[in-house]
A and B are shown apart, each in its own frame.
Chain A
Amino acid sequence: AQSVSQHNHHVILSEAASLELGCNYSYGGTVNLFWYVQYPGQHLQLLLKYFSGDPLVKGIKGFEAEFIKSKFSFNLRKPSVQWSDTAEYFCAVRRNSGGYQKVTFGTGTKLQVIP
């Protein structure tokens, strides 16, 4: 079964610092990859997704993620964080092997941005 690992459970950064959140998955075949964000008191929202093509994916609010197949990784990055980026971030993976495949989520990383 596929699994997703998010290495950092809690990250604290000052505003304007650069962000990189790690995500590794275990499935060796073709995958779809997602990052979701959950702002305080709000529901899960899609930040960005990778299906195929350019491994560098740009999402909303200045976030981007890079798919490195050889490392089974899909790390999330942002050059300069803002206080409003304080949220919990979830990486998710789905096998792309035909038919329905469920999405598996990581345990999440809580980001706290200090003004």
Chain B
Amino acid sequence: DTGVSQDPRHKITKRGQNVTFRCDPISEHNRLYWYRQTLGQGPEFLTYFQNEAQLEKSRLLSDRFSAERPKGSFSTLEIQRTEQGDSAMYLCASSPGLAGGPYQSSTDTQYFGPGTRLTVL
């Protein structure tokens, strides 16, 4: 299958440790998104890449969070000095976008991966 994959699926860490998650988008999807989902809430937007460029970051993404997509394919999300409030499901999504040219939101649809559940003790 060529769906969005995420690794690991679960991560338990102690407060203060650093964690890194990986997302592999659907092949040939230009756009990649990170979301956070806490209990009882819908996914909340964190950041977005078009190819390797990080084009938007939410105010939810504090300085302890960093995301990269170095070759325009897979992406990593790192959280430094984790806090208990970081415990959540971290979702990755990708969308086809357009190969070059201006973004056309009118036909772009995001496809989600299974998520990484982070528990900070």
Interface residues of chain A, those whose CB is within 8 Å of chain B, are 4, 9, 32, 34, 36, 42-46, 49, 51-52, 90, 92, 94-108
Interface size on B, residues (CB 8 A): 26
**B43 near A99 (CB under 8 angstroms)?**
no
Residues of B within 8 A of A44 (CB): 43, 91, 93, 112
**B40 near A100 (CB under 8 angstroms)?**
no
**A102 near B48 (CB under 8 angstroms)?**
yes
**B42 near A90 (CB under 8 angstroms)?**
yes
**A106 near B112 (CB under 8 angstroms)?**
no
**A104 near B45 (CB under 8 angstroms)?**
yes
Residues of B within 8 A of A51 (CB): 106-107
6 A-B Cβ contacts within 8 A?
A43-B91, A43-B112, A43-B113, A100-B105, A104-B45, A105-B43
Quote the shortest CB–CB distance from A105 to chain B (angstroms).
3
Quote the shortest CB–CB distance from B67 to chain A (angstroms).
15
CA distance A103 to B91 in the complex (A): 13
10 cross-chain pairs, A with B, having the tightest CB-CB distances, nearest first: A105-B42, A44-B112, A43-B114, A102-B45, A100-B103, A105-B43, A90-B42, A43-B112, A107-B42, A101-B105
Q: Which of B42, B107, B109, B110 contacts A108 (CB 8 A)?
A: B42
Residues of B within 8 A of A43 (CB): 4, 91, 112-115
**B102 near A96 (CB under 8 angstroms)?**
no
**A100 near B109 (CB under 8 angstroms)?**
no
Interface residue? B44 (CB, 8 A): yes
Q: Which of A42, A90, A94 contacts B43 (CB 8 A)?
A: A90
Closest-by-CB residue of B relative to A42 is B114
Residue from A43, A45, A90, A106 with most neighbouring chain B CB atoms (10 Å): A43
